[in-house]
Amino acid sequence: MKSLQTAHGIDFVSNNTSQAEHVFEKTFTGDVLDIAQLTDATYDLVMSNEVFQYIPPQNWGSFFSNHASILKDRGYFLLTVPNLSSIYRLIFRPQKDLFPFDFNAYDILTLARKSSFEVVAFCGIDPLYNIYLSAPLVVKRLLSFEYSFLLQKK
């Protein structure tokens, strides 16, 4: 198992990247859609946490292809997104305008495959974890509050 040797970070807000400079070896301020232009490095692992839901649908393909372009062959892409169709979200957080763009797990998986990623793992995170553990897969998809996808570049 490899340990983390070097970490870089990106954020759209310059104040966030300046605060993160003490944690990351290198930080970039800019649009995640320009990630390939921000770095000439290639990475073993790229993580995107709670970003995709803010990407306009016409840029989804670029989002995935740009992340693939900065990964080494067989590198990993860990993506977390909200499950917009979870029962929890529909009942307890029904704000329709909470996230600007609508998507589902199928959209993510389709885009990942088009960008030469294979799915290594897919799971949901649910506040009712004990119920979630014993539920059938179809119920897990409804209950999951968040989705995590571990993708590997082919």
Please name the residues in contact with 93: beta carbons below 8 A apart, sequence gap of 6 or more.
Answer: none
Residue 15 has pLDDT above 60, yes or no: yes
What pLDDT digit, counting tens, does each position of 85-113 carry?
776 666 766 566 677 788 888 889 899 99
State the pLDDT at residue 105: 81
- The yes-or-no verdict on residue 44 having pLDDT over 70 is yes
pLDDT of residue 152: 94
pLDDT band for position 123 (50/70/90)? confident
